Amino acid sequence: MLKLSSLKIDPEFSAQILPLSFEELQQLEMNMIRDGKLTDPIIVWNKTILDGHNRYNILRKHSFIEYEIKEMEFSSRQEALIWICNHQFGRRNLTPERRKYLIGKRYEAEKQISQNRGNQYTSTKKDATDQNDPCQNKSGSHITRQRIANETGTSEGYVQRAEKYMNGVEAADDAAPGAREEILNGKIKAADREICAIAKAPKEQRSEIVAELRKPKSKRDKQLASSTKSPSVKVKSFDDDGSRFLIGISQKMQGHKRALTESDQKP
């Protein structure tokens, strides 16, 4: 039987979990102390916590509380991530932003599993040209998107956009720790195209972009309208991929080697 001291926390796994408010966390601790035991087990894979991070932290403070650890079996961390995402879909108070992020994270993990299986299969075949056919790979992604869309009540296009949104959220958090939660809980109010565009920007400019997003939206709109009046800024469309947003921010930045151009924003 696993002991509490042997468990580990994986940053990527814990980042998918809906955090509790201060009041909810206090209530959970009070309930655990009152009952003297957990009502739900801590769920782990390979000694790594998948569900129960808050319960784990409380147990470490109060050693008298009885607990149960439930072990799951997965063949890869991608499968574990998929389980976490699916488990989170059932949580209350899940914001639209967080749900979209989780759908994108699940899609990314499922694509990685498909790619790994394809690579393993082709490595055992001398004649496997059909496995390397881009049409075959595209078809596999299409099937994955369709299945996820059906299970989440969305569309294939939504699933594809959700992955881009998730990449933007993670790029923002890498550049400015804490930005992920600010975006997913609605503290940072930004259009999807603006979040997606962060991942397209040069890494050295992402922290400034997040700083701009943290400003009130009304203030951002006025600044961007002013910055994009410059004749040197030529953008064909402002509505599809966040080009206006990124170019406007880039024009304001000082001390960088170059400003963003429209060509930088092309996928």
The tens digit of pLDDT for each residue in 141-154 reads 899 999 999 999 99
Give the pLDDT score at 83.
98
Domain boundary among 52, 73, 94: 73
What mean pLDDT, rounded, does the chain reach? 83
Final residue belonging to a domain, choices 53, 73, 93: 73
Q: Which pLDDT score, from 0 to 100, does residue 216 have?
A: 85
Point out which residues pair with 43 in neighbouring strands: 51, 70
| 60 domain residue, yes or no | yes
57-90 tens-digit pLDDT: 999 999 999 999 999 999 999 999 999 999 999 8
Contact of 109 with 82, CB cutoff 8 Å: yes
Residue 237 DSSP SS3: coil
The answer as to whether 43 is a domain residue is yes
Q: Are strands 42-45 and 48-51 parallel, antiparallel or unpaired?
A: antiparallel
Q: Residue 236 class from Cβ within 10 Å (0-12 exposed, 13-18 middle, 19+ buried)?
A: exposed
Write out pLDDT tens, residues 207-233. Answer: 999 999 998 877 776 666 665 554 443
Average pLDDT rounded to a whole number, residues 93-121 = 89
Q: What is the pLDDT of residue 227?
A: 55
Which pLDDT score, from 0 to 100, does residue 242 have?
57
- Percentage of the chain with pLDDT > 70? 74
C-alpha–C-alpha distance, residues 166 and 111, integer Å: 14
23: pLDDT strictly greater than 70: yes
Rg over alpha carbons for the chain, rounded to the nearest Å, is: 22
What average pLDDT does range 18-36 have in this prediction?
96
Q: What angle do CA 16, 22, 26 make, to 5 degrees?
A: 110
Identify whether 114 is part of a domain. no
Treating both helix axes as pointing N-terminal to C-terminal, what angle do 77-88 and 96-123 enclose, rounded to 10 degrees? 160
Q: Is residue 90 part of a domain?
A: no
Last residue of a domain, one of 37, 55, 73: 73
Residue 118 maps to a domain: no
Kindly indicate the confidence band of residue 238, based on its pLDDT and cuts at 50, 70 and 90. very low
Contact between 103 and 95 (Cβ < 8 Å): no
Residue 199: other Cβ atoms inside 10 A: 19
Does residue 243 lie within any of the structural domains?
Answer: yes
Lowest-confidence pick of 23-27, 132-136, 174-178, 252-256: 132-136
Lowest-confidence segment of 113-122, 132-141, 187-196 by average pLDDT = 132-141
Name the domain count of the chain. Answer: 2
The verdict on residue 120 lying in a domain is no
Highest mean pLDDT among 119-133, 210-224, 244-258: 210-224
| Rounded Cα gap, residues 8 and 27, in angstroms | 24
pLDDT at 135 over 50: no
The answer to whether position 113 is within a domain reads no
Q: What is the DSSP letter of 124?
A: T
Domain that holds residue 15: 4-73
User: Who contacts 257 (Cβ-Cβ below 8 Å, separation ≥6)?
Assistant: none
| CA-to-CA separations, 213 to 162, 183, 206, 256, in angstroms, rounded | 19, 9, 11, 19
Rounded Cα gap, residues 209 and 205, in angstroms: 6
**Dihedral over Cα of 242, 248, 254, 260: its sign:** positive
pTM of the predicted model, to two decimals? 0.80
Cα(242)–Cα(94) distance, integer angstroms: 25
Using alpha carbons, list the distances in angstroms from residue 178 to 44, 46, 211. Answer: 25, 27, 12
